[in-house]
Amino acid sequence: MTDNARDISVAEMNPEQLPVAEHELHGWTHFAGLYAGEHVAATEFVIGATFVALGASTQDILIGLLVGNVLAILSWTLITTPIAVQTRLSLYTYLHKIAGDSMSDLYNWANVLIFSVISSAMITVSCTAVRLLLGIPAQLQWYPTDALFVVVVLVVGMIVVLVAMYGFNAVAEFSSLCGPWLVVMFVSGALVLFPAVSDAVLGRPQLNGFADFITIGDRSIWTGVNSDGKPGIGLLEVIGFAWAANTITHFGLIDMALLRYAKRPIYGLCTSAGMLFGHYIAWIAAGIMGAGTAVLMKSTIVELDPGDVAYRALGLSGYVIVIIAGWTTANANLYRAGLAAQAIFYNHSRMRVTFAVGVVTVAIACFPFVYKQILPLLTYAGLLVVPVGAIVFAEHFLFPRVSLTRYWAKYKGLTYSTPAIASWAAGLVFGFGLNYLQVMSFFYLFLPTWVFTIVVYTFMASRYGARESYPAEEATERERNQAIKEFQLEQARSRNALVYDDSTLTRVLRVVKWLALAATLILALVVMFGSSDMDAYEGNAAIFYPWGFVLTIVYFASAYWVLQRTKKLNQAST
């Protein structure tokens, strides 16, 4: 094969099936923004209320969520990101190299279903805000009961589909734009509503110290008693919930699709922007906002939807936060669903496949029951994919250390890997069997399931061909990888360097967007700490609500200008 022939064969390959090129890698700020945008999301309203309904105590929430989310960050950093950076492949493509067509197709179909449903749930959550704006009644049935609600879902959903169609850059840009604002608004919402909760519990809106916060939490928010009046979950359950909430993306390795663009493995720590600001601060803030809304509406937290809570906490900005928070999560998950589908229909472009998956996703989003079942879905989805993550982990990290051959199934020309499929099935039986027998807390089942699958797959693969040597096939693989590198280097040479817009107007607008966020937070702090009585509280809140919305407009207008100006300059330079 000539060098030219090799280049042509590589050029004709689908770009999504190739390792990410060096010139396509992103810095840490992309990933901080991406994870902040995805994990400071509409689900936080649901999950924050769930901890209240499950009866966690205040101390268990503060400590347990911190420990569990740190464990999740370490899982991304030590497991997912190194594999993603070393291979530069999505899990879907890498799994195909390891286990062949049959296993990959089955797994990809499972992921298309999982991520489509997650995306549809987030679209529905976004629509709870639009529902309030248009006066549409609450959708309490499993099916839509208002035609206008269906129209809203179609409009909101297709925006998500369009963003996801344009790939990683579009998803990262959208999340980077929304991430900082989402963090500030979640914190602000909790600050604004906490005096109302304090007045209901202590008879005064102001706190005299941290002890008052704990007292209010124990009496009115995280009471240690669940919605049935029984003792609630404890510290270990809270830690396990926080760690297991994203097993599908870290132990399950789904986030290889995003982290393959990272320059270094240490960028896995950027997930802390989502875990600490999202799954820690936002879950706590959502619990406070839910409790405050319940006090003001004389209701219970389990009877409220995200739109109700956000509007009571943030006024008009509440509509925006629910819509944006739903979009950012839906975008990333629909992007993942599109990648999984494209790995199946590899003769079609990812954009076309993502559009087709998106249409189905939007149709599912018309049924309100989906978002209300998001927590069971995430939990079971994690247990479903963790065995596959274990198989990939074993082949990538363990095989070279125990003298087994990576990609042995590919080298043997297998389209059906018995060890992979059998190990996945065994892992599922093992994990769900432990759950059925109630041997341990469900939230920790992914750990023994992961270890069990690694052992089974390593043993079976060694019997089916992984112990053999494949020198000719390995040489061909090296030649192919070299051809890909040469092709991508040629592409990089034809690209111009990125242009940074340093004009006076753009610099001013960069400052303006951060000042808008700072001013929003200051106004919320005034409501929280400057309200000596309820009259003062109502006056401060009356200032926060309209100005918070104005500052939201200022932030997005200035941030969007900066983003678009930089994009136009770079497009003009190419």
User: What's the pLDDT band for 430 if we cut at 50, 70, 90?
Assistant: very high
Name 562's Cβ contacts closer than 8 Å, sequence gap at least 6. 501, 506, 509, 510, 513
Question: What is the predicted pLDDT for the residue at 229?
Answer: 79
Q: What are the pLDDT digits (tens) for 212-254?
A: 999 988 888 888 888 777 888 899 999 998 998 889 899 999 8
pTM over 0.85: no
Percent of the chain at pLDDT exceeding 70: 87
Q: Is 165 helix (H, G, I), strand (E, B) or coil?
A: helix
What single-letter amino acid sits at 409? A
Cα gap 209→190, rounded to integer Å = 17
Task: Quote the tokens at residue 496.
Answer: 């111009």
Dump pLDDT digits (tens) for 398-424: 999 999 999 999 898 888 899 999 999
pLDDT given at position 501 = 57
Per-residue pLDDT tens digits for 207-221: 888 899 999 888 888
Round to whole Å and give the CA distance between 464 and 401.
Answer: 18
Spatial CA neighbour of 288 closest among 56, 540, 539, 49: 49
Res. 16: pLDDT tops 70: no
Measured N-to-C along each axis, helices 147-165 and 350-365 cross at an angle, to the nearest 10 degrees, of 160
> Measured between alpha carbons, how far is 400 from 33 in angstroms, rounded to an integer?
35
| % residues pLDDT > 90 (the chain) | 29
* Per-residue pLDDT, 570: 53
User: pLDDT band at 301, cuts 50/70/90?
Assistant: low
Please tell me which of 87-96, 272-281, 308-317, 533-542 the model is most confident about, judged by mean pLDDT. 533-542
Decide if pLDDT at 259 tops 60: yes
3-state secondary structure of 214: helix
Q: Please check the confidence at residue 73 and state whether its pLDDT lies above 70.
A: yes
- Alpha carbons 195 and 283: distance in angstroms, whole number: 18
**What does the pLDDT read at residue 8?**
42
Using 50, 70 and 90 to split pLDDT, how confident is the model at 524?
A: very high
Distance of alpha carbon 179 from alpha carbon 514, whole angstroms: 12
b/e burial code for range 344-382 (CB count within 10 A of at least 16 → b): bebeebbeebbbebbebbbebbbbbebbbebeebbbebb
For residue 375, pLDDT beyond 70: no
Rounded to whole angstroms, how far apart are CA atoms 66 and 275?
Answer: 9
pLDDT of residue 253: 92
Taking 60 as the threshold, does the pLDDT of residue 193 lie above it? yes
- State the pLDDT at residue 130: 73
Q: How confident is the model at residue 181 (pLDDT cuts 50, 70, 90)?
A: confident
Q: In whole angstroms, what is the distance from residue 23 CA to residue 8 CA? A: 20
Confidence (pLDDT) at 1: 40
Q: What is the pLDDT of residues 449-486, one digit of tens each?
A: 999 999 999 999 999 999 999 888 888 888 887 887 77
Q: Is the pLDDT of residue 439 over 50?
A: yes
